[in-house]
Amino acid sequence: MFQDIRKNLERDRKELLELSTRSRLINTPRRKTRIRTIEVIDELSVEIYRILVVEGRKMSFLPAPEPVTDEPAVEDSSIEAFGQYLAQPDDSPTDSQGTATRHRDNKLQTGLASKQLQSRLLQIYYDARTLEEEQGISTLYLAMGFLRWFDAENSERDRYAPLVLIPVVLDRSSAQSRFTVAFSDEEISTNLSLQAKLKVDFGVDLPELPDTEDIDVSAYFSEVAKRVGGLERWDVRLN
């Protein structure tokens, strides 16, 4: 009897899932300025998971460097034009495993300027606190790994959906302090909306996540990539 009830609850829960591209769990806008999200850039999911979940430490947010406005003009226009396609060589210090130290610290890099980052954090913080006070639910998650997917084979528009959702708490000790994010100790889950979407529309089974203590995020992303390998242009993005 208990098993039947659980199956019915699971079925009802899936029927409530939003599977259209209006849902951010199905189609997450990236690099947009007017949404209540913060995109973390140039980080490693395995390291974030280690710091937040395994070690139980807090992380803060690092704004993008302020633009330099007083650079001298470049005389050779051909060099200037060519240079826009080149990135600076990565000479960041690394540890004994070859991982850049910026990936092992407790700061999450973002592409937002300092004031914009603080404004976005304040907005998210107050929205989350209001929801928790009024409805008793927590809505803050750190999404790790994204599936890039397409509606159809001839579609030119790529879409992104998060794969692993870590429930987190956003907080600060005072109005003058930086915001920090910490693992809330609630259940880490895969993207149930995406799981249902892939099954219904594409016949792909998104793998389940094991219990928190057994999660290997690298292995999970590899398994997802394997299962969508037959779909042209689909892939797993780690940041």
Residue 8: phi and psi, rounded to 5, are -65, -40
DSSP assignment, residue 110? B
107-109/59-62 β-pairing: parallel
Residues of the chain with pLDDT > 70: what percent? 76
- Other beta carbons within 10 angstroms of residue 127's beta carbon come to 13
Cα(118)–Cα(229) distance, integer angstroms: 39
Give 27-61 pLDDT, tens digit per residue.
988 766 566 889 999 899 999 999 999 999 999 99
According to DSSP, the residues that pair with 236 across neighbouring strands are 147
pLDDT recorded at residue 20: 80
Buried residues in 87-122 as b, exposed as e (16+ CB within 10 A)? eeeeeeeeeeeeebebbeeeebbbebeeeebeebbe
pLDDT recorded at residue 92: 61
Largest CA distance in the chain: 79
pLDDT recorded at residue 8: 44
pLDDT recorded at residue 87: 45
Cα(106)–Cα(102) distance, integer angstroms: 9
- Which stretches of the chain drop beneath a pLDDT of 50? 1-3, 5-9, 11-13, 15, 74, 76-88
pLDDT recorded at residue 140: 93
